[in-house]
Amino acid sequence: MPSSFSFVAALLAATAVSASPRASALTGSITARNAANSSLGAPVAYICGPKTANVTCVNRYGSLLPPSFSRDPDPSVAYTGAKVPGDPSWALVQQADFVLFDKKRGLEVLGPAPKIQRGIIPVLNVIHEAPVFVPELNKLFVTQDGPPGNLSILSLDLNHDPPTVALVETDPPLYQPTGGLYNSKDGMIYYAVQGNNASLPGGLQQHAGIARVDPKTLKAEWLLNNYHGFNLAGPNDLTIDDVGDIWFTDTDYAYVLGVSESPKQLQLATWRFRPSTGQIQVMDTSLAYPNGIAFSRDGKTLTGARNVFAWDVARKGHDGTHPVITGKRVIFQALEGAPDGLKVAANGYLVIGEGLAPGVDITDELGNLIARIQTSHPVENIQWTGDDLKTLWLVGIGGFTRVEFDLAGPDLVNYHGKGGH
Ligand SMILES: *[C@@H]1O[C@H](CO)[C@@H](O)[C@H](O)[C@H]1NC(C)=O
Ligand SMILES: *[C@@H]1O[C@H](CO)[C@@H](O)[C@H](O)[C@H]1NC(C)=O
Ligand SMILES: *[C@@H]1O[C@H](CO)[C@@H](O)[C@H](O)[C@H]1NC(C)=O
Ligand SMILES: *[C@@H]1O[C@H](CO)[C@@H](O)[C@H](O)[C@H]1NC(C)=O
């Protein structure tokens, strides 16, 4: 059936999910406190929230700093790298695990006992990506971008704490997937695979593309490896829409990272691939480096440069499944880094890994900044795990961080509200 979607519907869905009784009970007292700290001239930051982690609230979004402030525009300089010598309270932001800008909704995100654990397992000092949770196995699979030629994927068994880690290779091996997704409909992991190498160990030759893996047997199957004979530059991230099409972003980071032998042959783009027919169609070429991609339950967002963009998705055409995207709008500029992996929470909030910088920004579905999580390593991507999907893994360059809080991940079997990915 043809359907059309808009962010108005997404907003309604989010309101319905986040209005828990406990959250509403908190509202009265927090509104009063916010008012007490909303005056111009108050220190920029103050301790707030539960004591199970270091939580700092920022007064008026930090929009007025003493004039001696400065910050290096280099994207790898974190938000905490801003210098605010005129206000000693800035140190509270620098040492915080969680920073709240919208105090009321930020405290709802944290819940009563937020926790953050850093350095849970030792990992190589390379980019980690494509964290995928397979609920039947209670395992988290994470890929590595590098070292060149390496075919290992990390498999974390979450039945143990700390998790036990195994290095696995799929059959045939996949050379450095960088985006991944668990599809509850077929129990398979779908990977955006960036590596492009004609002489891999074991005589393996691979072009970048899309593949899927059975997580129980680790058997891999290629679905896509070219566009009418051109190499893809390096599929970076992917998602699956409500009619089963795979949308992926294609960027040339693989060449820069030394895991592709070929410079880009096509413009960097966002593509739609229909596994049932093999059709591949370009959807957007307007972003400089398209990266993370996610559907709201009824819309679409993806990232580029420092920004997050959103589109409306309508369904048209002879069978009512052809997507038409309109209404491109920028909805958020990251506080640091360059937005990388981006995922939508159960209540519609966006959780955005900051790529080059050590943090995650959390906004509502319209891009209004709510809170951030601060880590000790750049965060490339994120994944919820656990029975209640309230554990969030942040993976990136040289580190893994685990967060427990109240912002749940989306229902894996009912992502689009009608039967999952
Ligand atoms: C308001 O901010 C001040 C510092 O600016 C802080 O000491 C105080 O705890 C805050 N009030 C509340 C109720 O959070
Ligand atoms: C908060 O930060 C301080 C200073 O870094 C540290 O000593 C303390 O253990 C932290 N508290 C929590 C709950 O993590
Ligand atoms: C591949 O990476 C793993 C870490 O996940 C490392 O232990 C292993 O030695 C690497 N192998 C090669 C051949 O680089
Ligand atoms: C290709 O794989 C070989 C290992 O067989 C590795 O030494 C080389 O660096 C790789 N090159 C690229 C561009 O991935």
The domain of 44 spans: 24-96
Per the model's pLDDT, the better-predicted residue between 46 and 417 turns out to be 46
pLDDT of 40 reads 72
List all residues 6 or more positions away from 271 whose beta carbon is below 8 Å from its beta carbon: 227, 247, 248, 249, 250, 280, 281, 282, 283
Say whether pLDDT at 273 is over 60: yes
Nearest alpha carbon to residue 168 among 127, 205, 132: 132
Q: Does residue 251 sit within a domain?
A: yes
Residue 83 and residue 138 in one domain:
no
Q: Which range is least confidently modeled, 31-40, 83-92, 131-140, 389-398? A: 31-40
According to DSSP, residue 337 is labeled S
Q: Does residue 92 sit within a domain?
A: yes
Q: Which ligand 2 atom is the nearest neighbour of the CA of 95?
A: 5
Q: Which range is least confidently modeled, 18-22, 73-77, 314-318, 340-344? A: 18-22
Q: Does residue 420 sit within a domain?
A: no
Q: Which range is least confidently modeled, 41-50, 190-199, 348-357, 411-420? A: 411-420
**Ligand 2 centroid to residue 103 C-alpha, Å:** 20
List all residues 6 or more positions away from 232 whose beta carbon is below 8 Å from its beta carbon: 207, 208, 209, 224, 225, 226, 250, 266
Whether omega for the bond prior to residue 172 falls within 30 degrees of 0, making it cis, is yes
Average pLDDT over residues 376-385: 96
Q: Does residue 40 sit within a domain?
A: yes
Residue 85 and residue 131 in one domain:
no
Residue 137 and residue 43 in one domain:
no
**Whole-number Å distance between alpha carbons of 75 and 267:** 24
pLDDT of 42 reads 86
Residue 171 and residue 92 in one domain:
no
Distance of CA 207 to the CA centre of its chain: 25
CATH number at residue 193: 2.120.10.30
Domain boundary among 60, 78, 96: 96
**Whole-number Å distance between alpha carbons of 415 and 421:** 6
Residue 129 and residue 88 in one domain:
no
**Ligand 4 centroid to residue 197 C-alpha, Å:** 6
**Domain tally for the chain?**
2
Residue 188 and residue 329 in one domain:
yes
Percent share of the chain, pLDDT over 70: 87
Residue 130 and residue 171 in one domain:
yes
Q: Residue 39 CA: which ligand is closest? A: 1
List all residues 6 or more positions away from 420 whose beta carbon is below 8 Å from its beta carbon: 183, 184, 185, 412, 413, 414
Q: Which residues line ligand 3 (CB under 6 A)?
A: 124, 144, 147, 150, 152, 154, 167
Q: Does residue 345 sit within a domain?
A: yes
Q: Does residue 110 sit within a domain?
A: no
**Ligand 2 centroid to residue 130 C-alpha, Å:** 30
Residue 214 and residue 296 in one domain:
yes
Percent share of the chain, pLDDT over 90: 74
To which H or E segment does residue 372 belong? strand 369-374
Q: Does residue 390 sit within a domain?
A: yes
Q: Count the alpha carbons within 13 Å of 214 in the hemisphere toward its beta carbon.
A: 6
Residue 150 and residue 243 in one domain:
yes
Alpha helices in 19-146 (DSSP H): 21-36, 90-94, 103-110
The confidence band for 417, taking pLDDT boundaries of 50, 70 and 90, is low
Residue 128 and residue 218 in one domain:
yes
pLDDT of 38 reads 61
pLDDT of 420 reads 47
- CB contact at 8 A, 133 and 155: no
Residue 321 and residue 373 in one domain:
yes
The confidence band for 36, taking pLDDT boundaries of 50, 70 and 90, is low
According to DSSP, residue 79 is labeled G
**Whole-number Å distance between alpha carbons of 217 and 350:** 33
**Whole-number Å distance between alpha carbons of 413 and 406:** 20
Residue 70 and residue 159 in one domain:
no
Closest residue by CA, ligand 4 atom 14: 259
Q: Residue 98 CA: which ligand is closest? A: 2
Average pLDDT score, the chain: 87
Q: Does residue 418 sit within a domain?
A: no
According to DSSP, residue 36 is labeled H
pLDDT of 411 reads 87
> Strands 98-100, 55-58: parallel, antiparallel or unpaired by DSSP?
parallel
Say whether pLDDT at 28 is over 90: no
pTM of the model: 0.89
Q: Which ligand 4 atom is the nearest neighbour of the CA of 258?
A: 13
75-130 pLDDT, tens digit per residue, is: 889 999 999 999 999 999 999 999 999 999 999 999 999 999 999 999 999 999 99
Q: Residue 150 CA: which ligand is closest? A: 3
